[in-house]
Structure 1
Amino acid sequence: MAADEKAVSSLELQMPTEKEDARNGYLLDAQQLGSDVGSLKTAADGHTILIPQPSEDPNDPLNWSSWKKHLVLLSISVVAFLPDFGTAMGSVTQIPQAKTWHMPVATIQESVAINTMLSGISGLFVVALSNYFGRAPVLFWMRLIVIATVIWYAAAKSYNSFLGARILVGFFVGVGQSGGLMWIKDMFFFHELPRKINIWSVFIISSPYLGPFMASFVIWRLSWHWVYWIYAILNYAVFIIIVLFVDETFFDRNLAIEKQPAWKSRLLRLTGFERHCRYSFIEALSRPLIAVSKIPVIIITIFYFLNFAWTIGVNATIATWLNKYYHFDGESTGLFYFAPITGCILGAISGHWLHDFIGSLYMKRHYGKIDPEARLYIIYGASALTGTAVLLLGQALQHKWHYMAVAVLDAAQLIGVNIISTAVNAYLLDAYPEAPGEVDAWIVVGRTMGGFMATYIDLPWVEKQGAGKVLGIQAAITWSSVALVIFLQTFGKKLRRWQGPMEFPSAG
Structure 2
Amino acid sequence: MASKNSDIIDDHSSGKGVESKGVDSSVGDPELGQDLHVSLGQSEKGSNLKLDKTGLPLVPQPSDDPSDPLNFPQWVKVAILLQVSFLALLGPLNQATVNPAFVPLAAHFRISTVEASYQTTIAIAFAGIGSFVWVPLANTYGRRPILLFTTLIAAASSLGSGKALTWSQLIATRVLNGLGTSSFFTLGAGMVSDTFFLHEKGRAMGIFTVFLTNSAHIAPIPGGFLGQFVSYRWCYYLPAILDFAMFVIMLFCLPETLYLRGSTPVVTDKPILRRMKLWGLRPEGKHLEAADFLRQLIMYPTVVLTALYYSVTFTLSSILPAVTSATLFRRLYKFNASQTGLALGIGTLVGSTLGELLGGVVVDRSMYLNRKGKKDGGIVPEIRLQGIWVGAILQPIGLLIWGFCIQYKTPYIGPTMGFGIMCFAIQIISTVLYSYNADCYRPQTSEIAQVLNFARQTVGMTTGFWSIPLGDSIGFQWMAVTMALVGLVTFLPVVYLMFHGKTIRGRMGAPTYNSGF
What TM-score results when the alignment is normalised by the length of structure 1?
0.90
Task: Indicate the residue corresponding to 1:42 in structure 2.
Answer: 51
Corresponding residue to 1:300 among 283, 286, 306: 306
Q: 1:181–1:436: 8 Å Cα contact kept in structure 2? A: yes
Secondary structure of the structure 1 residue equivalent to 2:410: coil
Of the candidates 170, 188, 194, which is equivalent to residue 178 of structure 2?
Answer: 170
Cα distance, 1:362–1:171 mapped onto 2, change above 3 Å? same
SS of equivalent to 1:106: helix
Aligned pair partner of 1:309 in 301, 312, 315: 315
1:370 deviation in Å? Answer: 2.1
Q: Deviations over 1:105-128 (max 9, x none)?
A: 222211111110110111222211
Q: What's 1:75 paired with?
A: 83
- Structure 1 residue 435: deviation in Å? 1.0
1:271-286 → structure 2 map (5 Å cutoff): 271-276=278-283, 278-282=285-289, 283-286=291-294
* 2:253 maps to which of 231, 245, 249: 245
Shift of 1:339: 1.0
State the match for 1:227 in structure 2. 235
> In 2, distance between residues paired with 1:76 and 1:412?
26
Letter in 2 for 1:3: S
- One-letter amino acid of the structure 1 residue matched with residue 320 of structure 2: G
How far 1:269 moved relative to its partner? 4.9
CA contact (8 A) 1:124 1:442 kept: no
Query: What is the aligned counterpart of 1:480 among 467, 485, 489?
Result: 489
The unaligned stretches of length 5 or more in structure 2 are: 1-11
The residue aligned with 2:112 is: 104
Runs of 5+ consecutive residues of structure 1 not aligned to the other structure = 30-35
Structure 2 residue aligned with 1:376? 385
> Is the contact made by 1:198 and 1:348 (CA closer than 8 Å) also made in structure 2?
yes
CA distance, structure 2, for counterparts of residue 173 and residue 24 of structure 1: 34
Partner of 1:424: 433
* Aligned-pair CA distance for 1:48: 2.8
Q: Write the distance in 1 (CA, Å) between the matches of 2:58 and 2:271.
A: 28
Question: Offset at 1:240?
Answer: 1.2
Residue 425 of structure 1 aligns to a residue whose secondary structure is: helix
TM-score, with structure 2 as normaliser: 0.89
- CA apart distance, 1:141: 1.3
Where do residues 80-479 of structure 1 align in structure 2 (5 Å cutoff)?
80-257=88-265, 266=273, 269-276=276-283, 278-282=285-289, 283-290=291-298, 292=299, 294-311=300-317, 312-336=319-343, 337-363=345-371, 368-479=377-488
Which one-letter code corresponds to 1:396 in the other structure?
C
Identity over the aligned pairs, expressed in percent? 25
Residues 169-209 of structure 1: CA distance to partner in whole angstroms, max 9, x if unpaired?
11111212112221011111111110000011011100011
The CA deviation at 1:70 is 1.2
Q: Could you tell me which residue of structure 2 aligns to residue 24 of structure 1?
A: 35
Matched residue of 2:397: which SS? helix
- Any idea what the Cα deviations from partners look like across 1:145-175, whole Å, max 9, x if unmatched? 2223321111111211111110111111121
What is residue 33 of structure 1 aligned with on the other side?
none
Measured at CA, do residues 129 and 105 of structure 1 come closer, stay the same or move farther in structure 2, by a change above 3 Å?
same
SS of 1:402's partner is coil
Query: Alignment partner of 1:251: what SS?
Result: coil
User: C-alpha displacement at 1:37, in angstroms?
Assistant: 8.8
Distance 1:437 1:400, change over 3 A: same
Check if 1:495 corresponds to 2:504: yes
- Give the stretch that moved more between structures: 490-499 or 458-467: 458-467
Q: 1:22 to 1:207 in 2, by over 3 A?
A: farther
Equivalent residues of 2:20, 2:51 under 8 A apart = no
**In structure 1, how many angstroms separate the alpha carbons of the residues matched to 2:454 and 2:25?**
38
Counterpart-to-counterpart distance in 2, 1:446 and 1:401: 33
Aligned equivalents of 2:117, 2:442: Cα separation in 1: 38
**CA 1:232–1:21 in 2, change beyond 3 Å: closer, same or farther?**
farther
Q: Which residue of 2 aligns with 1:32?
A: none
SS at match of 2:413: helix
Structure 1 residues 505 and 265, CA, compared in 2 at 3 Å: closer, same or farther?
A: closer
CA contact (8 A) 1:130 1:138 kept: yes
Q: Is the 8 A contact 1:22 1:430 kept in 2?
A: no
Does the 8 Å CA contact 1:83/1:174 hold for their aligned counterparts? yes
In structure 2, give the amino acid aligned to 1:308. F
User: Given that residues 309 and 451 in structure 1 are in contact (C-alpha distance below 8 angstroms), is that contact kept between their aligned partners in structure 2?
Assistant: yes
Residues 206 and 285 (structure 1 numbering): CA distance in 2 closer, same or farther, change over 3 Å? Answer: same
Question: Are 2:307 and 2:455, in contact at CA under 8 Å, matched by a contact in 1?
Answer: yes
> How much has 1:93 moved relative to structure 2?
2.1
Assess if the C-alpha contact under 8 Å between 1:308 and 1:447 holds in 2: yes
Contact 1:119 1:173 in 2 (8 A): yes
* Shift in CA distance, 268/371, structure 1 to aligned 2, threshold 3 Å: closer
User: SS where residue 46 of structure 1 aligns?
Assistant: coil
Contact 1:122 1:174 in 2 (8 A): yes
Structure 2 distance, partners of 1:118, 1:22, is 41
2 CA distance for matches of 1:201 and 1:442? 15
Give distance in 2, aligned partners of 1:277 and 1:458. Answer: 49
CA distance in structure 2 between the aligned counterparts of 1:345 and 1:61, rounded to whole angstroms = 28
In structure 1, the residue corresponding to 2:184 is in which secondary structure? coil
Q: Secondary structure at the match of 2:117?
A: helix
Greater mean deviation of Cα atoms: 484-493 or 60-69: 484-493
Number of equivalent positions? 495
Matching residue's letter, 2:282: R
Partner residue in 1 for 2:9: none
Structure 1's 136 and 502: CA in aligned 2 closer, same or farther, altered over 3 A?
same
Give, in whole Å, the separation in 2 of the partners of 1:27 and 1:366.
16
Which shows bigger deviation, 460-469 or 316-325? 460-469
